[in-house]
Amino acid sequence: MKTTRSDSWPAPAKLNLFLHINGRRDDGYHELQTLFQFIDHGDNLDFIINDSGELKLHSQMSSTVTDSDNLILKAAKSLQQHTGTTLGAEIFLDKVLPMGGGIGGGSSDAATTLVALNQLWETGLSHAELSEIGLTLGADIPVFINGLAAFAEGVGEKLIAVDLPESWYLVLTPDAHVSTAAVFQHPDLPRNTPKLTLADLMNKDWHNDCQQLVCQLHPQVAKALAWLIEYAPSRMTGTGACVFGVFDTQAQAEAVFAKMPASMQGFVAKGTNKSPLMLRLAQC
């Protein structure tokens, strides 16, 4: 059996710089408006390509997520089925991002799998075609495949690339697993934020419609946010649990990070409008 190894494919985190819920559709999905930016911090995937057609995932998550539920394997299988390739892969995941953190860990892993295997299997799909596959697996996956900071509408699938300040962020990772489904199903979630144009949104103070509810349901998130907001403009990302403070310089972010209570965890990262995954793909 022939094998080829390809290492160091990043699966970066994202931040929702704002998240507005505009309404709920008849099919149960929510209309939203949000602004995605990547950060230079995330998971890493290595691939060994083989001609067996079999897929195997090596990960420290194996004990907590079954293969049938794992987005990485779902993405790889979907690409196999869509293209008819007879190739397989062993996939090695170095998991850094917390699950249920609202920074896109699972979605980013799936996107990196689609982008990397499309390259390594030489299946030749465009990013638009990969995004169509990704959207069937998760609403956030297309933004990671496209690889550019973006304004998103609809259920998150309508993307417009934007050029944003590449700030520094202190991201706190509370010990809480927030269920996105539970947040969107909760009766107390605000669902009536008016839709605005991108130009209007860029000139307004940003907020996250899920933040108040998640803070009520998860005191750890409220505690992290209350501490961080003393030092910088701070919000929750996605449906949580992670919260982030915005800084102009790395030194400012690191200085606050050094003051972080021992009971909290987090990291400093730089915002980037182009995904590290795109930079890795360009090396091929």
Token readout for 79 is 């690409």
Q: Distance of CA 67 to CAs 75, 112, 230, Å?
A: 12, 17, 42
Active-site hit among 43, 74, 95, 140:
140
Spell out the residues 6+ positions from residue 121 whose beta carbon is closer than 8 angstroms to its own.
Answer: 49, 79, 83, 85, 87, 89
Q: For this structure, is 140 an active site residue?
A: yes
- Residues 181, 183: Cα–Cα separation, whole Å: 5
**Paired sense of beta strands 55-59 and 3-24, if any:** unpaired
Contact 189, 19 (CB under 8 A): no
Q: Distance of CA 137 to CAs 56, 70, 85, 109, 157, Å?
A: 19, 10, 20, 12, 12
- Residues 43, 59: Cα–Cα separation, whole Å: 11
Active-site hit among 7, 14, 46, 69:
14
Catalytic positions? 14, 140
